[in-house]
């Protein structure tokens, strides 16, 4: 009979072989691997099933200026790989891990600059709190103050309906909008948010996480 941890060990080994060469690192002893890009991050999740041993593969992307845990978008890559025995599972999970590596590289290319991230965020549906908040931050960092005010004002008027995370987003948007006419202070506040989120995700401190933006031409 297989040990209870056998399939977990196989997943960990396959993920390490595929993702560690890309600079990704495992979050503790979990099935989650992280790809740190200073003010945004990718999480690769080898998600277990509630019904049987094995793994799904989920890709999560987070803008780290978000003030609570959560992802700005996620998707599932590939089908569930069931564990029957080590011989059957090992090559299949290696293939799934290789898929994870391809997805990480695709996401890196998709968001390889702040400009690409900004353009992606602006194209989203901003009727909900998170997309509007992200658009406000992105526009504020890009120097588009008028647009940032509009996005933050929408979030500030949004009804959180007793949801703590939504209230946190609303309160943060209300604070950030008051700093837009003082770009250095706005940026410092965003860096503070990023620092808090990095801590929640067990990422190392990075006081210069927005240095990439210094090369952006602002209005």
HEC profile for 4-48? CCHHHHHHHHHHHHHHHHHCCEECCCCCEEEEECCCEEEEEECCC
- DSSP annotation of 102 reads H
Sheet containing strand 32-36, strands side by side: 25-26, 32-36, 40-45, 58-63, 73-76
The rounded percent of the chain whose pLDDT value lies above 70 is 96
Instruction: Look at residue 101 and tell me whether its pLDDT is greater than 50.
Output: yes
pLDDT for 78? 83
Reported as a single tens digit per residue, the pLDDT across 28-57 is 999 999 999 999 999 999 999 878 899 999
What backbone torsions phi and psi does residue 43 show, to the nearest 5 degrees?
Answer: -120, 130
Tokens of 11: 């997943």
The overall average pLDDT reported for the chain is 91
3-state secondary structure of 81: strand
Instruction: Look at residue 204 and tell me whether its pLDDT is greater than 70.
Output: yes
Reported as a single tens digit per residue, the pLDDT across 146-160 is 999 999 999 988 888
What backbone torsions phi and psi does residue 32 show, to the nearest 5 degrees?
Answer: -105, 135
For the entire predicted model, the pTM comes to 0.91
Helix spans in 111-144 (H):
114-122, 129-142
């Amino acid at each position: 009979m297989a040990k209870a941890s056998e399939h977990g060990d196989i997943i960990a080994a396959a993920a390490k072989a595929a993702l560690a060469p890309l600079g990704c690192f495992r979050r503790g002893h979990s099935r989650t691997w992280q790809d740190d890009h200073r003010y945004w991050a990718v999480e690769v999740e080898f998600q277990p099933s509630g019904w049987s041993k094995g793994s799904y593969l989920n890709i999560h992307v987070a803008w780290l200026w978000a003030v609570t845990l959560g992802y700005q978008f996620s998707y599932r890559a590939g089908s569930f790989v069931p564990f029957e025995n080590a011989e059957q599972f090992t090559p299949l999970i290696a293939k799934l891990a290789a898929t994870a590596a391809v997805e990480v590289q695709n996401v890196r290319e998709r968001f390889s600059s702040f400009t690409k991230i900004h353009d992606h965020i602006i194209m989203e549906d901003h009727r909900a709190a998170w997309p509007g908040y992200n658009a406000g931050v992105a526009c504020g960092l890009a120097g588009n103050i008028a647009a940032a005010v509009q996005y933050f004002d929408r979030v500030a008027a949004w009804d959180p309906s007793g949801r703590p995370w939504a209230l946190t987003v609303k309160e943060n948007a209300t604070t950030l909008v008051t700093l837009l006419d003082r770009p250095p202070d706005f940026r410092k506040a965003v860096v503070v948010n990023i620092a808090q989120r990095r801590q929640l995700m067990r990422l190392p401190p990075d006081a210069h996480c927005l240095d990439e933006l210094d090369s952006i031409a602002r209005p």
